Amino acid sequence: MDRLTNTVRPYAWGSTTAIPHLIGAEPTSEPQAEMWMGAHPGAPSRTERGPLDKVIAADPTGQLGEAAAEKFGPRLPFLLKLLAAGAPLSLQVHPDLRQAQDGYAREEAAGVPISAPHRNYKDANHKPELICALTDFDGLCGFRAPEEAARLLEGLGVDSLKPYVDLLRAHPEEAALREVLTAVLSADHDEMERTVTDATAAAQRIGGAYEPYAGIAHHYPGDPGVIAAMLLNHVRLQPGEALFLGAGVPHAYLNGLGVEIMANSDNVLRCGLTPKHVDVPELLRIVRFEATDPGVLRPEASPGGEEVYDTPIDEFRLSRYVRPEGAAAQDLTAGTPQILLCTAGSVRAGELTLAPGQSAFVPAGEKVEVSGTGTIFRATVVA
């Protein structure tokens, strides 16, 4: 078993306080957005044996187990994170596996450098993800029903939004959502900036259901993503609740601290709320234009005190153990690779004591018992 030393990414949208408060450190005034735990080549966790990606590459079957190595190849198929949003992340979608493979091959054949700012596909993998709230957590997830979106836009009383309201009411669901998102992202820049400015003033004045969008506009004034965001469901997670984001579902995280797990990929198509590249034609090809319920997940109790967040994919499986004082030790030995992350209290995993924000990698088949009082998240795969 390896104690992990992890990289914190200082993205501009990151909270300056959430991760320091969790780990008991003094804030530095710099944003601390994501702590990465895993073997992603962009920032692999470090162990006494070396970087985790190199440790796994040297002995994939021994570290991952025969079943996982055969199913996913010689790499850890998930990336675990602490995510601390102090400002909205970009409005985005992720491709499915076939779309990612085709897009990656297409850009490779065209000679687009991996580091190019206009490159859409950094790898040939999909990027389903799950976010589990550690604090109150605000996000946007999936399209509202067109009539609901029409009422929200109409309620602002902004004349330049009326064409979008009319489109939402004039067509069946898929066509209505497609046409409005296309119109918003393709509008004249100056005209859209005026529309967003007027909509922001109205949202600030009205408040209530408009408060999240006024907050978004505060960080991204004039951005067409502010209007696009109003097409989506606003969700507030309570601690312990989660969201699963599948392929083609537009989403954005707005504020809060959570545990995030995803397939090991960097593929993102952006819709707005970002200074980065927005490829509108490719985005429109990837988005699933259907109204959805956000589907808030609550953990399902399993034998042995494990609480599982059920998802429809195999690259990751996230669960947690909330251990009261005096609880008996629990055997977490598994035939698959695991990352254990403590988020509260003090938990002993094998020979390691984990405080909040500390984590360990457990190779497949290695015996590990967990004891102590606190909360520990367990990330593994379905193999």
Q: How confident is the model at residue 303, as a pLDDT?
A: 82
Return the active site residues: 270
Q: How confident is the model at residue 302, as a pLDDT?
A: 87
Q: How confident is the model at residue 199, as a pLDDT?
A: 97
> Do 286 and 95 touch, CB atoms closer than 8 A?
yes
Q: How confident is the model at residue 84, as a pLDDT?
A: 98
Q: How confident is the model at residue 350, as a pLDDT?
A: 93
Q: How confident is the model at residue 42, as a pLDDT?
A: 87
Q: How confident is the model at residue 304, as a pLDDT?
A: 85
Q: How confident is the model at residue 312, as a pLDDT?
A: 95
362-378 per-position pLDDT tens digit: 999 999 999 999 999 99
- The alpha carbon of 124 is separated from its chain's Cα centroid by a whole number of angstroms, namely 18
pTM summary value: 0.95
| DSSP collapsed to 3 states, the chain | CEEEECEEECCCCECCCHHHHHHCCCCCCCCCCEEEEECCCCCCCEECCEEHHHHHHHCHHHHHCHHHHHHHCCCCCEEEEEEEECCCCCEEECCCHHHHHHHHHHHHHCCCCCCCCCCCCCCCCCCCEEEEECCCEEEEEEECCHHHHHHHHHCCCCHHHHHHHHHHHHCCHHHHHHHHHHHHHHCCHHHHHHHHHHHHHHHHHHCHHHHHHHHHHHHCCCCCHHHHHCCEEEEEECCCCEEEECCCCCEEEEEEEEEEEEECCCCCEEEECCCCCCCHHHHHHHCCCCECCCCCECCEECHHHCEEECCCCCCCEEEEEEECCCCCCEECCCCCCEEEEEEEEEEEECCEEECCCCEEEECCCCCCEEEEEEEEEEEECCC
Q: How confident is the model at residue 353, as a pLDDT?
A: 98
59-74 per-position pLDDT tens digit: 999 999 999 999 999 9
| Cα–Cα distance, 333 to 182 (Å, whole number) | 50
Low-confidence stretches of the chain (pLDDT beneath 70):
none
